Amino acid sequence: MEAIRKVKGKRKEHDVKLFALSTCGWCKKTKKLLADMDVEYECIDFDLLSDDEKKEMRDELKRYNPAVSFPTIIVDKDGVIIGFKKDEIRGALEG
Amino acid sequence: MRQYVENDAEENGYHVCPDPDLYEDLLEGLVENQERYGYPSCPCRQASGMKTYDADIICPCEYRDADVDEFGMCYCGLFVSQEVSEDPDKLEPIPERRPPEILEATMEADEEPEMEESEGIPVWRCKVCGYLAARDGPPPICPICKAKADRFERFRLSPR
């Protein structure tokens, strides 16, 4: 599986970016929720990146979430949802 | 891995994840990390691949007890309290307790610090603030003054 990939979906109102770990159960729940909602998003499995990519993505993620924890969802380049917060994710993407 | 987790839960008075799907996913993540790094580091955290630096997040992690005390579950939800075990709806994301500086420091480090053969657990001293830590290798950063691992030295009592 590509570490950085576009996940297709019918819902494209928002620019959605997910920082995840391929091994993380809560990240898996988040991916499943986005799939159920049929949201198109960019998925970054941080643990599958090369070392250089990790540093680059770490710097990007840190701007939104200083704890650099997973999952983190960035909505339209400024909204941030840290952790699998189902209602917040639905609220931000289904509105 | 299941046996390892369930034995550990029982020995320490915890319960395992009451959400069957999440539990399976977390076990799979642990197996993947065991294969990838050679030790079962936390599936919900980014490991450095350097065992000395990941020592605090090898499952069961150093943050588990405090998190189960405060939130009823460890960071992943792999280990939970009796209360959460009886009510899976209480499983929810909790804040990361591991200081972010540790991940930062491990990502900047290229080499694992050398471990010395010794009897028992060696003690490491921060040359900047004097903090002492008993562990196999120096911590990636000093938890007190945030000095990097290379500022630590092996601490020995001087012979009389």
pLDDT 10s digit of each residue in chain B, 160 long? 999 999 999 999 999 999 999 999 999 999 999 999 999 999 999 999 988 889 899 999 999 999 999 999 999 999 999 999 999 999 999 999 998 888 888 888 767 666 655 567 788 899 999 999 888 888 888 888 888 888 999 887 665 5
Contacts of B107 in chain A (CB under 8 A): 54-55, 58
Nearest-angstrom CA–CA distance, B82 and A68: 30
Cβ of residue A28 closer than 8 Å to a chain B Cβ: yes
R_g over Cα of chain A = 12
Q: What residue ranges define each of the domains in chain A, with the CATH number in brackets?
A: 4-90 (3.40.30.10)
Q: Compute the nearest-CA separation of A9 from chain B (Å).
A: 24
Q: Is residue B105 part of a domain?
A: no
Nearest-angstrom CA–CA distance, B101 and B115: 22
Domain that holds residue B134: 113-154
B67 and B122 housed in the same domain: no
Cβ of residue A57 closer than 8 Å to a chain B Cβ: no
Q: Is residue B103 part of a domain?
A: no
Contacts of B47 in chain A (CB under 8 A): 47
- Write the ipTM: 0.91
Predicted TM-score (pTM) of the model is 0.83
Contacts of B99 in chain A (CB under 8 A): none
- Bridge pairing between strands B15-16 and B79-80: antiparallel
Name the amino acid, one letter, at B141. I
